[in-house]
Structure 1
Amino acid sequence: MTASAIARLDAAVLQKPDATTGYLEQLFSRLFLGLVYPQIWEDPVVDMQALQITGDDNVVCIASGGCNMMSYLTAGPASVTAVDLSPAHVALGRLKLAAAQHLTDFAAFYQLFARADMASNRALYARYLRDKLDVDTRTYWDARAPFRRRISVFQNGLYRHGLLGRFLGAVHLVGRLGRVDFTPLLTARSLEEQQAFFDTQIAPLFDMWLVKKLAGFRAALFGLGIPPAQYDKLAADGDGSVLPVLRERVRKLACDFPVRENYFAWQAFARCYDPSPDASLPPYLRAGNFAALQDYACRGRIVNQSLTDLLAASPSGSKQCYALLDAQDWMNDGQLNALWREITRTASPGARVIFRTGGTEDILPGRVDASLLNRWSYDPDASALGSAQDRSAIYGAFHLYRFTG
């Protein structure tokens, strides 16, 4: 990876309030040079309901695994520009964009990104996609890392790879140690059955000595993409411990939505998407959206830089939708204000900003300069609705702001 990629990650992550935290932040930064999220963990259906994307909207977002960028494109916006500090996420997003433009058969597109575990996927890549990629992206997928070419992850289960995939693998190992088989949860026919499974099978895992011990280490949640600063916010919500917070969010994931309608639950408890014909999937992987995705994929792009830097190079009043994921949880006050100066400058009247927080409280009041934040209106009803409906269940809250000018 380039020195510039490392520098961008360090600038985003390193706060260094003390020596131990500084070491952990540096470790976290280096982990983000590789693949972290094979799938993004924010619900795009909630995003799109809040953003109300139209054909006149220019959307900017953080890419992560690229699922939301691709899903936003199905709404037919004027453009979607995604940023990410991980070169691996940029390569994954560009591969998805290329596939949407050059794979004419939905079955092939589904095979590559929904199944992502078939031996023929490597040949699919070589025949239809490899020569359509830019040099950096092609080099990334052709490289050996360390024993086989990176593109082979699509042959043996993309969603078992990356930092998140390995974290979920460790969760399943803990489940086996606790003699828990998650299959009955995935075949449950009611929310009552799901709740009963959580109460009798999953909840006791949080009482295991190993789980309690691991939860006390800030590095234990690196696999969820949670840096030390965000870990501390979670612990504050749990009166000093992340364990009760994690327990409640796993409960929400397992119990608050019918499991057949929640592909996040399938990723957590099966490490794949539901293979059923009527399975829950991200919008961009649904057959009914494929034609729209093909039409609008050319309006998407992804770049390896920070959102603040991207906006600084954009014309004033040129953006209508901003999706920040949970990136602000990583930021100090200076970084937050720099970002919101550029958001406010580039926002057109009526622009919408959505984001998540690891904790339950909105982090902007008292931190972002009032002269900036007073130009925005917080929507408490839409924020509460988004928080309740986000099937990923990993965050404390969803937030929506509207630009009042």
Structure 2
Amino acid sequence: MITLSKIVENLQDRLFNSVVSNNLVYNTCWEDPRLDRKMLQLNKESNVVMLTSAGCNALDYLLDSPRHIHCVDVNPAQNYLLELKKALFTNGNYSLLWDFFGEGQKTGAEVVYQRNIRPLLPTAAQEYWDSHISYFTPSPTEPSFYYKGTSGKIALMVRNRIQRKGLYNNVLQLLNAQSTKEQAYYFFEIEPLLWNGFHKWLISRNATMSMLGVPAVQRKMIEQEYDGIFNFIRQSIQRVFTQLPIHDNYFWRVYLTGSYAPDCCPNYLSSQNFKYLQPRVDRIHTHTSSLIQFLKHHPDTYSHFILLDHQDWMADAKPDLLAEGWHHILNNSSPGTRILFRSASPSADFLPPFVKKHISFKEELSSKLHPQDRVGTYESTHLGIVQ
């Protein structure tokens, strides 16, 4: 017998799948690569498989000069975004890269795209950006690319709330604070004015979480641990802004301001890294596919798997698919292969039992690094090494 709760869960899953399959969801990566690179220990022999997201972290990992990075995503829009970034490197004009992805806007973006970028894109990416390059054309209501896509729409709502409350200058003071003590002062001055009944309601909606790329099963994990999504988000934000140095936290800066700063941006946008990355971007290969299908069609021995928080998506709802995925990962690994993922759960107890028979989890290292995560929206980080 199908229960009401199961019907609701199925509807939530359908909404989530509709959002993440047909739209650009992530316009920037939401995992901290500074910690990743300490755990992954990439080198010139590394053969990496990772989930694409917005492609920022693939470019960051490229600084360690791995041999190949295979970026896999079922959502083609995420791969097209990475291909656009690769094309801007191939074009060779750092200023254009900074305009598009540092400032998040470019006056005359359509003309620049047609002349300088489009010829460098694969056909499918051309077709996508032919109708979406206006994302980079600023307007009074949507001044930045980082307010486009489904996650960007939520960020824009928060930014508009801040501006309507007259808090934007306070936010800039917070972002430019010179100490955690100063950060905490500005944060606690802002926080009581930021939240109201509407925003508490908005954050608690399934549609909002779907737009942010958070599936129902992951919401359930968070709600069980924190007695509601709102409490989790509020505590996460408070910790990030009062306990961790904010000066290089480009994750939150870009959503609060719509742009990065030269001294607060992802590594791929740093001018000093441009010439190093430019000749290496062809080591990044995009694949529009599930991870399982990718491994079926591209069997190999891979040195690294970066799974983001994708394990959560299958934890309760699709245990058979979760187990199948791990069988394929292990079949394409060798002793020493490193596997990294994050979770909304405080532990990785949801993994199939056979996984821990083949993988040693380095909880001491990951637990040491996890509190330094500048994003702050995951409950745990896990690094496993195949035995």
TM-score if structure 2 supplies the norm length? 0.91
Partner of 1:285: 269
Paired AA for residue 91 in structure 2: L
Matches within 5 A, 1:55-204: 55-100=44-89, 102-143=90-131, 150-156=132-138, 157-176=144-163, 179-181=166-168, 182-203=171-192
Kept in 2: contact 1:321–1:351 (CA 8 A)? yes
Aligned pair 1:310/2:298, yes or no?
no
Query: CA shift at 1:130, angstroms?
Result: 0.8
Q: Following the alignment from structure 1 to structure 2, what is the Cα–Cα distance between the partners of residues 379 and 134?
A: 39
Query: CA shift at 1:358, angstroms?
Result: 1.5
Please, which runs of 5 or more residues in structure 1 have no aligned partner? Answer: 1-15, 144-149
Kept in 1: contact 2:25–2:151 (CA 8 A)? yes
Aligned pair 1:22/2:10, yes or no?
yes
1:251 to 233, 238, 242: 238
Query: CA shift at 1:177, angstroms?
Result: 5.5
Moved over 6 A (4+): none
Kept in 1: contact 2:145–2:258 (CA 8 A)? no
Paired AA for residue 232 in structure 2: V
Secondary structure, aligned partner of 1:308: helix
Paired AA for residue 257 in structure 1: L
Partner of 1:361: 347
Kept in 2: contact 1:219–1:228 (CA 8 A)? no
Aligned pair 1:227/2:215, yes or no?
yes
Q: Following the alignment from structure 2 to structure 1, what is the Cα–Cα distance between the partners of residues 71 and 84?
A: 13
Kept in 2: contact 1:356–1:398 (CA 8 A)? yes
Partner of 2:374: 391
Identity between Structure 1 and Structure 2 (%): 28
State how many pairs are aligned.
373
Partner of 1:13: none
Paired AA for residue 346 in structure 2: T
Query: CA shift at 1:17, angstroms?
Result: 6.7
Q: Following the alignment from structure 1 to structure 2, what is the Cα–Cα distance between the partners of residues 259 and 223?
A: 26
Partner of 1:6: none
Kept in 2: contact 1:45–1:283 (CA 8 A)? no
Paired AA for residue 233 in structure 1: M
Q: Following the alignment from structure 1 to structure 2, what is the Cα–Cα distance between the partners of residues 303 and 211?
A: 37
Aligned pair 1:297/2:284, yes or no?
no
Post-superposition CA distance 1:142-163 (Å, at most 9, x none): 12xxxxxx11212222111011
Q: Following the alignment from structure 1 to structure 2, what is the Cα–Cα distance between the partners of residues 216 and 154?
A: 30
Paired AA for residue 343 in structure 1: I
TM-score if structure 1 supplies the norm length? 0.87
Please, which runs of 5 or more residues in structure 2 have no aligned partner? Answer: 139-143
Partner of 1:210: 198
Q: Following the alignment from structure 1 to structure 2, what is the Cα–Cα distance between the partners of residues 349 and 219?
A: 42
Post-superposition CA distance 1:305-337 (Å, at most 9, x none): 011111122335x10011101111111211111
Root-mean-square deviation over aligned CA pairs: 1.9
Structure 1 residues 268 and 109, CA gap change in structure 2 (3 angstroms): closer
Secondary structure, aligned partner of 2:334: strand
Q: Following the alignment from structure 1 to structure 2, what is the Cα–Cα distance between the partners of residues 380 and 222?
A: 30
Post-superposition CA distance 1:55-79 (Å, at most 9, x none): 0010110011111111112221110
Partner of 1:9: none
Partner of 1:328: 311
Partner of 2:141: none
Query: CA shift at 1:128, angstroms?
Result: 2.1
